[in-house]
Chains A and B, each alone.
Chain A
Amino acid sequence: MPATADAATLDRTFRALADPSRRSIVARLSSGPASVSELAAPLAMSLPAVVQHLGVLQESGLVRSEKVGRVRMCRLEPAPMGAAQQWIADHRAAWEGRLDRLGDVLDTTYGSPS
């Protein structure tokens, strides 16, 4: 089985992707690089909160940022992964998404926890 990403890397990746806001940032970056303020615009949160999420994504190695003039640009930095790990990661990510939706359905059906 190819092993180009170790368990600790996968753990960091999944932690980074365990948050809906960070997933939305990653989804946005999948269509191309963006500035921090462009990433913040569609999110209902303060700029410092967005910067904090970006920090987690950068620690995971998923996202890289660099200063271009006066603007900080962010881009995806996907790590190479073997086919097996890719399959498992995709599969797991799909279930993570489903179980998040399950939580939304429970909140809607039985009332959101205070």
Chain B
Amino acid sequence: MSVIHADFAIERRYGCSPPQTFSAFADPALKRQWFAVPADWAETDWTLDFRVGGGETNRGRSPDGKLHAFVSRFHDIVAERRIVFAYDLLVDDQLVSVSLTTVEVFADGDGSRLLFTEQGAFFDEDPGAPAEREHGTGVILDRLGPLLAGEPAR
């Protein structure tokens, strides 16, 4: 019934150049390889319109029958350097969270450094069913949720 505000940052170093790293976000064929529904989900919809004002839609049905949706809109794109997007997560058409995400790519020696910063409003309607676990994209990550959580919140 409450809303939680949280932000976090993740940093990664990749061996390829900033333009190449950026292409993994801009090129639909590459994006699809790392940002898609898990293998055992039924994908129902996937679109990427990589331009300011455009967006990305990624919908899939998990084995338990729930429909998960990631719906984003690009607010700022600086080629090879920065992407700012906002996205909604929905489970069975119920809004679970709204996030503002900034991806920055920097040159780092002969490779690149990626800084991912997310600021989110998470709607804590059902603490027993963490939204991202439901939206999760891999068996290991699906398992990590309950592990990190320990006992159910209530």
Say which residue of B4, B30, B133 sits within 8 Å of A109 (CB atoms): B30
Measured CB to CB, the closest approach of chain B to A69, in angstroms, equals 27
A contact residues, total (Cβ < 8 Å): 45
The A/B interface has a contact count, at CB < 8 Å, of 147
Nearest chain A CB to B10 CB, angstrom units: 6
A106 and B16: CB pair below 8 A? yes
Distance (whole angstroms) from the CB of B63 to the closest CB of chain A:
17
Within residues 118 to 136 of chain B, which ones have a CB less than 8 A from any CB in chain A?
118, 120, 122, 124, 127, 130-133, 135-136
Chain B count of residues within 8 A CB distance of the other chain: 47
B10 to A102, Cβ gap below 8 A? no
Q: For chain A, what secondary structure do more than half of its interface residues adopt (helix, strand, loop), or is it mixed?
A: helix
Known contacts being A30-B143, A97-B141, A98-B34, is A89 close to B16, with CB within 8 Å?
A: no
Can you report 16 residue pairs joining A to B where beta carbons are below 8 Å apart? A1-B4, A17-B144, A27-B144, A78-B149, A80-B151, A90-B144, A94-B132, A95-B116, A95-B118, A98-B35, A98-B137, A99-B12, A101-B34, A106-B21, A109-B30, A111-B16
